[in-house]
C-alpha cells in the first residue's frame, strides 16, 4: 500500500487533498462526512465574528459548454460539459459562537484529520485587527491544526475585507503579522488572483510571517447575459455584482499564478487551488511546487462533499507513486516542484533559427538591449 501521507507547514495530512473553504465545509455534518469519505483535511467555510446576509436568490450556479456548438450557458441541458462555477456567496452565515464548539467536536471525532479554520475580519483599525486575533485564538483553542486567512473573497464591498485586503500588500502584511502574533499553529494566507502581480502580495504575506500561501480563490467575473431575456443568467431583481469564477475554466489561470509564486519563493510552502477534479489536475500543482491541493467546485457537484472525487484522487496518487517508484518517489514531497523550472521566459523557448528571436529586443525594429541597458535573452 502506497503511503499517501504528507507533512505540510508542520501539520501531518493522511493525504495531500483538502476540501477548500466553501459550501462543502459549511457545517459540522459535511466536515464529518468529508473525513469519513477520505479527505486528508478540510478548510472550514470562512468564519467571521458578525452575521452576514446573502443575496435573495441562488448563491452559486454552474456554467456549461455544449460539445457541438460554442454555446455557454447556466441553463441545465443534456450533453453539456462543466465550464465553471460562478458564485457571489459571502463568508459563513454562522458566526464564531456557532462554529467554536463544533470545531472542538469535529477535532475530537477525527483527531488525525487536519482541520484548518478559515477566518476573516475587517482590517480598517486596531479594533478590527484584534477581531482577527479573537478568531484565531478561538479556533486554535478548539484544536484547529492551522489557520487560513481569507484575504481573497472577491465580493466584499468594504475596502478592508477579502480580496480588497489581498490587493493591498501592506494590509496583507499587517493582517498576517497580527494573526502570527497570537497564533500557536501555522498560518496560511489565501491570496486573490485578481491582482497585477501576485508575487508582490505573497511577499507581503511572507514578510508578515505566513507559513504558506493558498492560491487561487475564485477569479472576479460576471455571468453572461441571456440573449433571449436580456437578463444576466444569475441576478436579483435584474441586478448583478461581480462574483467569483471557479472550476475547470480557472485551472490553467491558477496554474500560471502558482508558477509565478513557486518560482519567486522556491523554498516556501504552497497549497494549490483552482479547477481540480482529478489526480491529473492536482499533479500539475504538485509538480509546480505545491505540497497540498484544495478542491471546491468538483466536490460541490459530487454528493456535496466530493465522495467520488476524493476516492479517485487517492487512487490516482497511489497509482502514480507505484508507477514512479523506480525514481525513488515514495511520497508526494519527492516530486513536489520537479517541473517548476520548466516555466521560462518566451525568449528561452527554442526557435527554428536560434538567431531569430531576442525577446523583442535587437534586430526586430525595437530598441537594442545596449540602448536600454537590459538583457533578457
Ligand X SMILES: Cc1cc2nc3c(=O)[nH]c(=O)nc-3n(C[C@H](O)[C@H](O)[C@H](O)COP(=O)(O)O)c2cc1C
Residues binding ligand X (CB under 6 A):
20-23, 45-46, 59-60, 85, 87, 89, 91, 118, 150, 152-153, 190, 217-218, 246-247, 250, 273-276, 295-297
Nearer to ligand X by Cβ, of 222 and 338: the residue is 222
Nearer to ligand X by Cβ, of 183 and 273: the residue is 273
Shortest separation between residue 368's beta carbon and ligand X, angstroms: 44
Shortest separation between residue 90's beta carbon and ligand X, angstroms: 7
Burial class (CB in 10 A: 0-12, 13-18, 19+), 286: buried
Shortest separation between residue 360's beta carbon and ligand X, angstroms: 34
- Grid cell digits, residue 311: 476516492
Shortest separation between residue 167's beta carbon and ligand X, angstroms: 15
Q: How far apart are CA 37 and CA 310, in angstroms?
A: 7
106 in Cβ contact with 36 (< 8 Å): no
Residue 84's alpha-carbon distances to 65, 68, 134, 162, 232, in angstroms, are 9, 18, 35, 21, 16
Shortest separation between residue 91's beta carbon and ligand X, angstroms: 5
305 in Cβ contact with 227 (< 8 Å): no
Go through the chain and tell me how many residues it has.
377
Q: Phi/psi at 54 (nearest 5 deg)?
A: -85, 170
Nearer to ligand X by Cβ, of 40 and 274: the residue is 274
Q: How far apart are CA 61 and CA 71, in angstroms?
A: 16
Catalytic residue among 144, 153, 290, 296: 153
Nearer to ligand X by Cβ, of 255 and 276: the residue is 276
Sign for the CA dihedral angle at 26, 32, 33, 37 comes to positive
Nearer to ligand X by Cβ, of 65 and 338: the residue is 65
Rg (C-alpha) for the chain, rounded Å, is 22
Does the annotation count 139 as an active-site position?
no
Q: How far apart are CA 311 and CA 232, in angstroms?
A: 36
Residue nearest to ligand X (CB): 246
Q: How far apart are CA 210 and CA 270, in angstroms?
A: 11
Residues with a known catalytic role: 153
Amino acid at each position: 500500500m502506497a503511503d499517501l501521507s504528507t507533512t505540510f507547514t508542520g501539520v501531518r495530512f493522511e493525504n495531500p487533498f483538502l476540501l477548500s473553504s466553501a459550501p462543502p465545509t459549511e457545517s459540522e455534518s459535511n466536515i464529518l462526512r468529508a473525513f469519513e469519505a477520505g479527505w486528508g483535511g478540510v478548510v472550514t467555510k470562512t468564519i467571521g465574528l458578525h452575521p452576514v446576509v446573502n443575496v435573495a436568490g441562488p448563491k452559486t450556479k454552474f456554467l456549461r459548454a455544449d460539445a457541438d456548438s460554442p454555446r455557454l450557458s447556466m441553463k441545465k441541458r443534456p450533453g453539456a460539459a462543466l465550464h465553471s462555477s460562478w458564485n457571489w456567496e459571502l463568508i459563513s452565515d454562522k458566526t464564531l459562537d456557532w462554529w467554536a464548539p463544533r470545531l472542538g467536536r469535529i477535532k475530537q471525532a477525527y483527531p488525525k484529520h487536519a482541520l484548518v479554520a478559515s477566518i476573516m475580519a475587517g482590517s480598517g483599525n486596531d479594533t478590527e485587527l484584534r477581531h482577527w486575533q479573537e478568531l484565531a485564538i478561538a479556533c486554535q483553542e478548539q484544536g484547529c491544526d492551522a489557520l487560513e486567512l481569507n484575504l481573497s473573497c472577491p465580493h466584499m464591498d468594504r475596502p478592508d475585507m477579502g480580496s480588497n485586503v489581498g490587493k493591498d500588500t501592506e494590509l496583507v502584511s499587517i493582517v498576517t503579522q497580527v494573526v502570527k502574533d497570537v497564533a500557536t499553529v501555522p498560518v496560511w494566507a489565501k491570496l486573490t488572483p485578481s491582482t497585477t502581480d501576485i508575487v508582490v502580495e505573497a511577499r507581503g504575506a511572507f514578510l508578515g510571517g505566513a507559513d504558506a500561501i493558498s492560491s487561487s480563490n475564485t477569479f472576479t467575473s460576471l455571468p453572461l447575459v441571456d440573449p433571449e431575456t436580456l437578463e444576466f443568467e444569475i441576478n436579483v431583481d435584474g441586478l448583478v455584482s461581480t462574483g467569483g469564477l471557479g472550476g475547470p475554466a480557472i485551472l490553467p489561470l491558477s496554474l500560471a499564478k502558482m508558477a509565478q509564486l513557486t518560482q519567486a519563493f522556491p523554498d516556501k510552502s504552497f497549497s494549490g487551488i483552482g479547477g481540480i477534479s482529478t489526480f491529473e489536475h492536482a499533479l500539475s500543482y504538485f509538480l509546480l511546487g505545491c505540497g497540498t491541493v484544495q478542491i471546491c467546485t468538483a466536490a460541490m457537484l459530487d454528493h456535496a462533499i466530493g465522495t467520488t472525487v476524493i476516492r479517485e484522487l487517492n487512487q490516482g496518487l497511489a497509482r502514480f507513486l507505484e508507477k514512479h517508484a523506480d525514481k525513488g518517489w515514495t511520497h508526494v514531497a519527492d516530486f513536489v516542484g520537479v517541473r517548476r523550472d520548466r516555466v521560462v521566459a518566451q525568449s528561452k523557448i527554442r526557435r527554428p533559427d536560434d538567431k531569430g528571436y531576442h525577446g523583442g529586443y535587437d534586430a526586430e525594429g525595437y530598441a537594442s538591449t545596449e540602448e536600454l541597458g537590459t538583457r533578457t535573452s
